[in-house]
Amino acid sequence: MNAVLKDHKITVEEYLAGELVSDIKHEYEDGYVYAMAGVSKNHQSIAGNVLAEIRQHLKTTRCRPFGTDVKIKVAGKFYYPDMMVVCEDKSDSAYYTESPVLIVEVLSDSTKQRDKTVKKLAYQSLPSLQEYVLIEQDFVDVEVCRRSTQWQSQHYLLGDEVWFESIDFKLPIEEVYRWVENEAVKKALADVEIQGFFSDNHENN
């Protein structure tokens, strides 16, 4: 999120009307509008990987996955998550929901602190939400906070399968980080491949 765009408050109605004609997405908090920063190719790869895998899993269910263009309304605030799943939409709006069961955010340097504090508290106040997932893009770490465990964090690393309890779906961490290009992720992927090679050879001997 970037700096506030206006030094005076606007109404929710003004914000929503403005989003319909704006070329840039904005988030809304307590009357103030904030422009969203652009994302890196790695950020987009991670978000796209997770969305694609979950969309395939949900094809025969009543749950719907959404990407970055649909808002969440929570306590008078509006946010654009990187990805979410809605199973029973309780909003009449075509542009936002108030009842996601799963929210995924890919962490960036400019948004990480807010994703882990302000947004986390806001999202967890939604009665429908069952899981909040935070994915690092500069190194391998997927953090899952679940209502069923009082929002305690569980971390998944390469070689693991992250479990999305809210939609009963397991996804290998390697698929989360497919096409991500940075040294930390490349090294981690290479280490997993080497471990797999020696493991296969040991089983064959």
The answer to whether 192 and 159 have CB atoms below 8 angstroms apart is: yes
Task: Give the pLDDT confidence score for residue 185 in this predicted structure.
Answer: 82
Task: Give the pLDDT confidence score for residue 199 in this predicted structure.
Answer: 53
Q: Which CATH class is domain 39-204?
A: alpha beta
Using one digit for the tens of pLDDT, what is the confidence trace for 101-131? 999 999 998 889 999 999 999 999 999 999 9
The answer to whether 167 and 63 have CB atoms below 8 angstroms apart is: yes
- Domain ranges in the chain are 1-36, 39-204
Here the tokens at position 115 are 């994703």
Q: In percent, how much of the chain has pLDDT > 70?
A: 90
Using one digit for the tens of pLDDT, what is the confidence trace for 71-87? 999 998 999 999 999 99
| Residue 98 pLDDT > 80 | yes
Print the SS3 string covering 119-185.
Answer: HHHHHHCCCCCCEEEEEECCCCCEEEEEHHHCCCEEEECCCCEEEEHHHCEEEEHHHHCCCCCCHHH
The answer to whether 135 and 166 have CB atoms below 8 angstroms apart is: no
| Residue 190 pLDDT > 90 | no
Q: What is the DSSP letter of 24?
A: S
Task: Give the pLDDT confidence score for residue 194 in this predicted structure.
Answer: 63
Q: How far apart are CA 192 and CA 187, in angstroms?
A: 9
| Residue 195 pLDDT > 90 | no
| Residue 198 pLDDT > 50 | no
CA quadruple 54, 56, 57, 59: dihedral, nearest 10: 120
Band (pLDDT 50/70/90 cuts) for residue 202 is low
Task: Give the pLDDT confidence score for residue 126 in this predicted structure.
Answer: 97
Write down the pTM of the prediction: 0.89
